[in-house]
């Protein structure tokens, strides 16, 4: 009985996709760049917002799994998800989704009404994405990118800072870059297995995605260098050596492109992040370099 209960709990945890919560760490970025990391009150608010947003994001993942259950069963990896593998029934999934959404939004309302508004907007946007927008090529990647920008704005509220247009722009473009790489993963699966894991797959080609990724990556890298060398950034961030951190940004992006374009491996952005040591090194190195320069 105990083992059955534990297996059920593991299924529910898997349903929430905790590995995807790493994306929500973006909420801490305004706190970090706003030089407020040492403020315990703001750090606590941001941590709470991270947890609550992760709950709302998990409710979206559950809704997506419910709607895409048949497609997931044709996917080499997604077929192992709790709903697709029948470990959790659709009614149980709906109840879990509702609990996560209500609890997340309710407590967000207690923290700051603006956070709750952004979370509700994120939820509605992703419901539309799951139902319709994900089937429209290019638009689907923009919707994903908007979701990342929403994370930034939630973080700016809890950190009590004004977002830099450079940070918003780079986040938006980097998110599109990652979304495009995910679409390429879908195409590779289709070419290797003949199974359509996404209905808008015919709106993309490998050549188009590779070119688009190069364009987005180039803009992100140039924008970051311009951001770190601008007079306002140097003045506000208390460091004229910020440009040195561009080394880690260039390394991370180029390594990601090498995996995605040169080796042509079928992996999602999250899988690459958890598996590749070079990308992990570039992220940790970037954070440490920024910390020592700004703080």
End-to-end CA distance of the chain: 52
DSSP H helical ranges for the chain: 2-15, 29-33, 40-67, 69-72, 90-111, 113-131, 139-159, 165-193, 206-229, 231-237, 246-257, 269-275, 277-294
Assess whether 251 and 125 both reside in one domain.
no
Angle 109-115-118 from CA coordinates, rounded to 5°: 120
Could you give the CA distance from residue 281 to residue 288 in angstroms, rounded to a whole number?
10
Q: Are residues 216 and 265 in the same domain?
A: yes
- Could you tell me the residue range of the domain that residue 225 belongs to? 164-295
Spatial distance between the Cα atoms of 122 and 148, rounded to a whole number of angstroms: 10
The verdict on residue 260 lying in a domain is: yes
* Domain-terminating residue out of 129, 162, 195: 162
Domains contained in the chain, number: 2
Tell me if 130 sits within 8 A of 63, measured CB to CB: yes
Task: Indicate whether 99 and 204 sit together in one domain.
Answer: no
Last residue of a domain, one of 93, 128, 162: 162
Tokens describing residue 90: 């659709």
String of DSSP letters for 256-290 = HHIIIIIS-----HHHHHHH-HHHHHHHHHHHHHH
**Residues 153-206: pLDDT tens digits?**
999 999 999 998 999 999 999 999 999 998 988 888 777 776 776 777 888 888
pLDDT tens for residues 205-253?
A: 889 999 999 999 999 999 999 988 887 777 776 668 889 999 999 999 9
What pTM did the predictor assign? 0.90
Does residue 32 form part of some domain? yes
Q: Has residue 282 got a pLDDT over 60?
A: yes
In the chain, % of residues over pLDDT 90: 61
Which residues have CB under 8 Å from 276's CB, separation 6+?
A: 255, 256, 259
CATH of the domain at 77: 1.10.357.140
List CB contacts of 169: < 8 A, sequence separation 6 or more: 223
Q: Are residues 48 and 132 in the same domain?
A: yes
């Amino acid at each position: 009985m105990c083992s059955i209960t534990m297996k059920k709990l593991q299924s529910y945890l898997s349903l929430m996709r905790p590995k995807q919560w790493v994306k929500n760490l973006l909420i801490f970025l305004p706190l970090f760049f706003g030089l407020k990391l040492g403020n315990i009150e703001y750090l606590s608010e941001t941590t709470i917002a991270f947890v609550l947003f992760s709950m709302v994001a998990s409710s979206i993942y559950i809704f997506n799994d419910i709607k895409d259950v048949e497609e997931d069963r044709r996917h080499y990896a997604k077929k192992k998800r709790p709903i697709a593998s029948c470990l959790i029934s659709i009614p149980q999934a709906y109840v879990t989704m509702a609990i996560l959404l209500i609890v997340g939004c309710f407590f967000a309302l207690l923290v700051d009404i603006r956070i709750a508004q952004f979370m509700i907007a994120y939820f509605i946007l992703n419901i539309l994405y799951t139902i319709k927008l994900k089937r429209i090529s290019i638009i689907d990647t923009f919707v994903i990118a908007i979701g990342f920008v929403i994370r930034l704005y939630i973080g700016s509220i809890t950190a009590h800072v004004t977002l830099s247009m450079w940070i918003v722009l780079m986040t938006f473009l980097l998110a599109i870059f990652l979304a495009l790489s995910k679409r390429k993963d879908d195409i590779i699966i289709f070419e290797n297995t003949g199974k359509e894991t996404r209905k808008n797959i015919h709106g993309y080609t490998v050549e188009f995605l590779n070119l688009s990724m190069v364009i987005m990556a180039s803009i992100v890298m140039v924008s970051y260098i311009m951001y770190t060398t601008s007079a306002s950034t140097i003045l506000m961030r208390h460091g004229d050596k910020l440009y040195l951190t561009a080394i880690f940004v260039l390394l991370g992006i180029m390594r990601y492109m090498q995996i995605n374009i040169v080796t042509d491996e079928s992996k999602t952005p999250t899988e690459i992040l958890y598996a590749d040591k070079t990308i992990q090194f570039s992220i940790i190195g970037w954070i440490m370099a920024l910390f020592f320069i700004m703080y």
